[in-house]
């Protein structure tokens, strides 16, 4: 029994930032094992954007681990809360979304979340189910349980308040609604990023008000984006989407700064602490080449989202392009038709723009001047060059290291 608890704990605690409270969690596990009753583990996702990225998967992975330990995952689609917008970590008010947008987003969210979760052991609920039917009376009753001072204890609210940056009353309501979700589904555990700490704690408090045992709050570190600086987010453009093609993911992982690699290992793979420590040490001692470690990381991540084959292929493509400096097997095609061809010739600048390799003539010209353009094996140096279409049919045109187009002439 004790060993069982320890075993589960080890998995659960992997990579976590904080557990409130750990002793409570142990008790819950004990009871769960004792009565063979799985824990109800809550994760709320607000469908505020159509795609999920690796940042979201940190917490999804944790939920998956709970599932693998036999617990029940309860995924709350925050279709109602999305309309308010979580103020966590924000310095400004969020733009509000329409019901239609939210519905669309929720759909893709689900599909993508199941790249990680086991659908068999997941319960999905939309929080509009209970939040939507609350009456003003109910809301008054809920809000009466919390004080303004308590709200302002929260770091981001405090900062905004002190910095004279507006906070709407609606935003104050957000944590309360999220807390109410926990009451509604009787959560034993709630997962979230560290920025969710306050919201998770509110859940505990509200559950107590409703005479429920308070949920254990487990927070996961926030994943830093591929720029290595800001947190991963779509709006900052430093993200890797879970639906991106394997080759793209591979490349993006290879482009993360070395110094965040270990964090990625910790948060995006299910390797044990020991295994990760080992990798870290070997890199430090010079036994393991960081680029190899990064390759492995990329493969593990792709394997989780796709499968082993795709991971292998992605690596091969990468090798082809960067090691052998060759075009990949599959190259986007660019079909040229009559209108840009004059007397059987086409201007190189035009070709670059038409194929989408350059945004404008000026840019294309600059690229050529910088020696970034190749047609077939030949580097192009003259921006005024006119190419015979006979010579370039089926050839590959390349911009920089990694952008290729195969030319097809349509007659």
Under rule CB under 7 A, residue 256 binds RNA: yes
> Given the structure tokens 């470690």, which residue do they identify?
293
CA gap 385, 388 in Å, rounded: 10
Q: What is the token pair recorded at 376?
A: 């077939």
> By rule CB under 7 A, what count of residues binds RNA?
44
Q: How far is the CB of 106 from RNA (least distance, A)?
A: 28
> For residue 237, is the peptide bond before it cis, meaning its omega torsion is within 30 degrees of 0?
no
* The binder of RNA chosen from 147, 362, 388, 394 (CB under 7 A): 362
Instruction: Give the list of residues 6+ apart from residue 261 with CB closer than 8 angstroms, or none.
Output: 290, 293, 294, 297
Q: How far is the CB of 155 from RNA (least distance, A)?
A: 18
- Pick the closest to residue 181 from 42, 307, 65 (CA basis): 42
Nearer to RNA, 254 or 408 (CB): 254
Stretch that binds RNA, among 3-11, 34-42, 82-90, 368-376 (CB under 7 A): 368-376
Specify the 3-state DSSP secondary structure of 88: coil
In Å, the largest CA–CA distance within the chain is 84
Q: Three-state SS string across 51-85, please?
A: CCEHHHHHHHHHHHHHHHCCCEEEEEECCCHHHCC
Q: What is the token pair recorded at 356?
A: 């989408």
Q: Which of residues 370-409 bind RNA (CB under 7 A)?
A: 370-372, 383-384, 399-403
Estimate to the nearest angstrom the gap between the alpha carbon of 152 and the chain centroid. Answer: 29
CA gap 190, 308 in Å, rounded: 31
Under rule CB under 7 A, residue 258 binds RNA: yes
Backbone angles phi, psi at 117, to 5 degrees: -80, 160
Nearer to RNA, 164 or 410 (CB): 164
Under rule CB under 7 A, residue 79 binds RNA: no
* The binder of RNA chosen from 103, 363, 385, 408 (CB under 7 A): 363
What letter does residue 221 receive in the DSSP assignment? P
Under rule CB under 7 A, residue 91 binds RNA: no
Under rule CB under 7 A, residue 356 binds RNA: no
* The binder of RNA chosen from 359, 378, 381, 391 (CB under 7 A): 359
For the four alpha carbons of 166, 168, 172 and 177, in that order, the dihedral sign comes to negative
Nearer to RNA, 107 or 158 (CB): 158
Stretch that binds RNA, among 80-88, 114-122, 145-153, 285-293 (CB under 7 A): 285-293
Q: Which of residues 206-235 bind RNA (CB under 7 A)?
A: 227-228
The residue ranges that bind RNA (CB under 7 A) are 93, 164-166, 227-228, 237, 247-248, 250-252, 254-258, 289-291, 294, 318, 321-323, 353, 359-363, 365-367, 370-372, 383-384, 399-403
């Amino acid at each position: 029994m004790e060993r069982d608890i320890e075993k589960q704990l080890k998995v659960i605690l992997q990579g976590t930032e904080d557990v409130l409270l750990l002793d409570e969690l142990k008790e819950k596990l004990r009871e769960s094992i004792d009565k063979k009753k799985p824990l109800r583990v809550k994760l709320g996702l607000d469908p505020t954007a159509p795609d999920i990225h690796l940042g979201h998967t940190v917490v999804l992975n944790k939920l998956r681990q709970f599932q693998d330990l036999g617990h029940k995952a309860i995924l709350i689609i925050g279709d109602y809360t999305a309309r308010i917008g979580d103020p966590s970590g924000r310095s400004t008010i969020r733009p509000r979304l329409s019901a239609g947008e939210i519905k669309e987003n929720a759909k893709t969210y689900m599909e993508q979340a199941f790249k990680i979760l086991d659908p068999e052991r997941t319960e999905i609920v939309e929080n509009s189910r209970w939040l939507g039917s609350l009456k003003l009376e109910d809301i008054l009753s809920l809000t009466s349980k919390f004080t303004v001072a308590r709200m302002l204890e929260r770091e981001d609210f405090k900062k905004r308040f002190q910095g004279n940056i507006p906070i709407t009353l609606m935003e104050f309501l957000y944590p309360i609604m999220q807390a109410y979700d926990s009451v509604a589904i009787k959560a034993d555990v709630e997962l979230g990023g560290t920025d969710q700490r306050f919201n998770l704690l509110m859940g505990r408090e509200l559950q107590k008000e409703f005479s429920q045992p308070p949920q254990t709050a487990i927070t996961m570190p926030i994943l830093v984006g591929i720029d290595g600086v800001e947190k991963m987010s779509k709006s900052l453009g430093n993200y890797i989407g879970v639906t991106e093609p394997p080759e793209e993911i591979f490349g993006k992982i290879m482009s993360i700064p070395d110094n965040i690699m270990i964090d990625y290992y910790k948060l995006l793979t299910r390797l044990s602490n020991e295994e990760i420590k080992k990798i870290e040490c070997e890199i430090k001692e010079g036994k393991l080449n960081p680029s190899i470690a990064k390759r492995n990381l990329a493969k593990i991540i792709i394997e989780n989202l796709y499968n082993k084959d795709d991971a292998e292929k992605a690596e091969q493509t990468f090798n082809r392009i960067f090691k052998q400096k060759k075009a990949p097997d599959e190259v986007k095609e660019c079909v040229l038709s009559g209108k840009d061809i004059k007397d059987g010739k086409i201007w190189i600048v035009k070709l670059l723009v038409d194929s989408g390799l350059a945004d404008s003539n000026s840019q294309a010209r600059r690229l050529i001047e910088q020696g970034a353009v190749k047609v077939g094996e030949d580097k192009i140096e003259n921006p005024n060059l006119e190419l015979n279409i006979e010579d370039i049919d089926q050839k590959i045109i390349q911009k920089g290291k990694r952008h290729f187009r195969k030319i097809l002439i349509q007659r």
